């Protein structure tokens, strides 16, 4: 939709003469700037340079950590079943433990509830798993 500037100004209660005065003032400033010499001695625009920053920022570099090597077998191993506390995760892990008991009786399962939320670290649990466990199944809620 296009609108005539004069009509818009009259709707706002301003005089259309403002258009002429504004345009004339802008043209005279442009002539002044183009005739003034700059720091290099040349005539032209002497407007200051603006520096803009990226609003997304600069993300830190990502350190890749490889996944643990797959175990050859689970026979005789201890598998930790870890829940982050999401509702229903304990029931799911109980079913996983029941499956191991029925289908892989040589595998020991240990259920633990992780302290804190999904992204929070639990150093005591991590130390226990490193000391006593060989594998982890972690139930992370959505």
Let me know if residue 56 belongs to a domain.
no
Entry pTM: 0.56
Give the residue numbers spanning the domain of 114. Answer: 78-139
Let me know if residue 12 belongs to a domain.
no
10 Å CB burial of residue 74 (0-12, 13-18, 19+) is: middle
Residue 136 token pair? 């982890």
Q: What are phi and psi of 16, to 5 degrees?
A: -60, -15
Higher-pLDDT residue of 9, 109: 109
Could you tell me what percent of the chain has a pLDDT over 70? 68
Rounded to an integer, what distance in angstroms lies between the CA atom of residue 79 and that of residue 85? 18
Let me know if residue 89 belongs to a domain.
yes
Let me know if residue 101 belongs to a domain.
yes
What's the pLDDT at 74?
94
* Structural domains in the chain (count): 1
Higher-pLDDT residue of 39, 49: 49
Let me know if residue 124 belongs to a domain.
yes
Let me know if residue 59 belongs to a domain.
no
């Amino acid at each position: 939709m296009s609108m005539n500037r004069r009509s818009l100004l009259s709707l706002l209660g301003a005089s259309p003469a403002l258009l002429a005065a504004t345009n004339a003032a802008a043209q005279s400033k442009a002539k002044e700037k183009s005739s003034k010499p700059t720091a290099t001695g040349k005539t032209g625009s002497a407007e200051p340079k603006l520096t803009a920053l990226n609003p997304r920022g600069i993300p830190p570099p990502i350190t890749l950590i490889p996944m643990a090597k797959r175990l050859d077998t689970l026979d005789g191993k201890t598998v930790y079943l870890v829940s982050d506390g999401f509702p229903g995760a304990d029931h799911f892990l109980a079913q996983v433990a029941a499956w191991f008991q029925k289908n892989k009786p040589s595998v020991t399962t240990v259920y633990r509830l992780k302290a804190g939320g999904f992204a929070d670290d639990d150093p005591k649990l991590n130390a226990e798993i490193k000391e006593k466990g060989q594998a982890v199944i972690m139930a992370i809620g959505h």
